[in-house]
Every structure is written in C-alpha cells, then in structure tokens.
C-alpha cells in the first residue's frame, strides 16, 4: 500500500480526518523548508504538501504568489525541491509528501525523468494545478508507471456529469477546491461543505481533502466533520512571514487538534 493510502486507512480506522499543511519550497530558504517539514510531521501533520515555486502561479492568491517569489529568489528549482524531499526522507520514511505546482517546470525537467526521480527520492503524489483531465494523458502514464498518485482537483464548478471524467485516473485522494477563486481568499461554509462533499463521495471511493480558504483550527474542524482531510496553506505562510517557524508549528499543532478531535466532538 502507498504511504498516502496507508495514512488514510489508519485514520479511517481511528475515525479521524487528516491534517495536510503546506510548505512552499525554499520560502524563504531551503533550511527553513526542511525544518518546517520535520516540525510539521512531529506536530500532527498527516500528509505534507510541498509547493513547487513557479513564476506564474495563476490559481494562487497573493500569499502563495509571494511565497513562490521568495522561494525562487532563494534559488528554488524543481531539482532543488526534489533534493529537499530526498533529505527529508533520510529521517522520515512514513509521512506522505505531495508536490503541488504548475506544469511548465515539470515539462522543462522532462515528464518521464521527473516522475522517475520524484518517486525514487520519496515523493508520493502530484498535484498539477494547470493540468485538467482533458490534458492529463501527458502525465498519467509516467506517474502511474512510477507509482506516483495523481491527485485531482475538483471544483464547485465541476458538474455531477463531469465528475467521473475528472476522477478517471486519479488516486491517493481527491482535492476539493471548496470555493470558486484563488488560494487564501474566501472560505467555504459548513453548509457549502454539507452540500458539496456528498456529491463527490457519490462519485469516488477515494478520501476527499478540502483546501482553499481553510485557515483556523475551527474551520479545519468543520472541514474534518464533512471530509477526510483539511489542507491549510496561506494561513501558515502568513504566520511564517509575520512570526517564525516555531509559530507555524504551534499553528500546525492547533490545527491538528482541531482536525483530529472534530469527529469525536461532532
């Protein structure tokens, strides 16, 4: 079983949801990212998303845009991000890592070489924001050959009729973009989630994680009552900018408590 499937199976057995925090690679330094990865794993992160910096992150709000710029200024490259994963894996072989980013750096690296290197160095899944299902044949064969999960985005605009098409070939979990908008802006309400998540459940057996606009332990707890995982990115980056690494880990711990306690409380 893959690391991602193992984590979700264990959480399911415990009746809990997953906390999935986000780290933008090299923001503002490689060392910070490595410290955050280990610290998040130690403070309740079940899976960690690593952002691959790109000059033109079209689906991201100002917070992640700025994080990507700082990462690039600090010398982030796709090869460097894979190196970060490799170093993390020397000490942690259990926390699943999902790379999230945009297609062009992957194309530039070479899709086949990237999938092979990513899998070999310890990446578990890929989220490529600007690769919709219509274009996914560009990535799927190499990803599946190397055992990488391709995690699909589902949006509020994805119709019921379209869901099976979007989910075809996806594995690991489903990433529900809970709002129409960019990252770190609006937040979906409990009522929105109560309406939307069952619609996706009807179309897949995969776990469903919710992202875009999940900021506080309370919001993460609401997500955990409806879905199988909560993804938190912009709020943690803002904490990193405003305070420091320790404050981010404090927030991760609080978020983890919110997510993990949610179903017992409900």
Stretch 171-230 residues interacting with other proteins (CB under 8 A): 177, 180-182, 185-186
Question: By C-beta, is 46 or 117 nearer to other proteins?
Answer: 117
**CB 165, min distance to other proteins, A:** 10
Is residue 60 annotated as part of the catalytic site, yes or no?
yes
**CB 110, min distance to other proteins, A:** 10
Is residue 246 annotated as part of the catalytic site, yes or no?
no
CB 191 within 8 Å of CB 135: no
Q: Which of 59, 131, 126, 125 lies closest to 96 in space, CA to CA? A: 125
Question: By C-beta, is 17 or 76 nearer to other proteins?
Answer: 76
Q: Which stretch binds other proteins (CB under 8 A): 36-44, 91-99, 132-140, 228-236?
A: 132-140
Stretch 73-102 residues interacting with other proteins (CB under 8 A): 77-79, 102
Given strand 125-128, what is the order of strands in its sheet? 149-150, 125-128, 97-101, 48-51, 18-24, 229-232, 208-211, 174-177, 152-154
Query: Does residue 130 touch other proteins according to CB under 8 A?
Result: yes
Query: Does residue 109 touch other proteins according to CB under 8 A?
Result: yes
Question: Could you say which of 21, 39, 44, 61 contacts other proteins (CB under 8 A)?
Answer: 61
Question: By C-beta, is 78 or 252 nearer to other proteins?
Answer: 78
Q: What is the DSSP letter of 151?
A: P
Q: Which of 111, 159, 120, 160 lies closest to 139 in space, CA to CA? A: 111
CB 173 within 8 Å of CB 151: yes
Q: For residue 208, what are the CA distances in angstroms to 37, 137, 167, 221? A: 22, 23, 12, 14
CB 258 within 8 Å of CB 221: yes
Give the number of residues in contact with other proteins, rule: CB under 8 A.
Answer: 44
**CB 10, min distance to other proteins, A:** 29
Q: Which stretch binds other proteins (CB under 8 A): 116-124, 126-134, 240-248, 258-266?
A: 126-134
**Catalytic member of 60, 117, 124, 228:** 60
CB 80 within 8 Å of CB 109: no
Buried b (16+ CB within 10 A) or exposed e, 66-96: bbbbbbbebebbbebbbbbbebbbeeeeebb
Stretch 147-166 residues interacting with other proteins (CB under 8 A): 152-159, 162, 166
Enzyme catalytic residues: 49, 60
Chain residues that interact with other proteins, rule: CB under 8 A = 54-59, 61-62, 65, 72, 77-79, 102-109, 129-135, 152-159, 162, 166, 177, 180-182, 185-186
């Amino acid at each position: 079983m893959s690391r991602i499937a193992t984590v979700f199976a264990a959480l399911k057995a415990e009746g809990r949801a997953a906390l999935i925090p986000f780290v933008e690679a090299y923001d503002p330094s490689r060392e910070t990212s490595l410290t955050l990865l280990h610290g998040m794993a130690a403070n309740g992160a079940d899976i960690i998303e690593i952002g691959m910096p790109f000059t033109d992150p079209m689906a991201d709000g100002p917070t992640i845009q700025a994080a990507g710029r700082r990462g690039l200024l600090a010398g982030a490259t796709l090869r460097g991000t894979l190196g970060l994963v490799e170093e993390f894996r020397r000490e942690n072989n259990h926390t699943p890592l999902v790379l999230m980013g945009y297609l062009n750096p992957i194309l530039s690296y070479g899709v086949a070489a990237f999938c092979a290197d990513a899998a070999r160095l310890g990446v578990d899944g890929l989220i490529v924001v600007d690769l919709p299902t219509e274009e996914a044949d560009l990535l799927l064969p190499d990803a599946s050959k190397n055992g990488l999960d391709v995690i699909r985005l589902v949006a509020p605009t994805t119709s019921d009729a379209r869901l099976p098409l979007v989910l075809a070939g996806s594995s690991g979990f489903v990433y529900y973009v809970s709002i129409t908008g960019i990252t770190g802006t609006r937040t979906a309400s409990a009522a929105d989630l109560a309406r939307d998540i069952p619609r996706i459940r009807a179309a897949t057996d995969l776990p469903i994680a919710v992202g875009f606009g999940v900021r506080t332990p309370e919001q993460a707890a609401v997500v955990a009552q409806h879905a199988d995982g909560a993804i938190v990115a912009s709020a943690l980056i803002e904490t990193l900018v405003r305070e420091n690494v320790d404050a981010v880990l404090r927030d991760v711990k609080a978020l983890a408590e919110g997510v993990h306690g949610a179903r017992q409380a409900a």
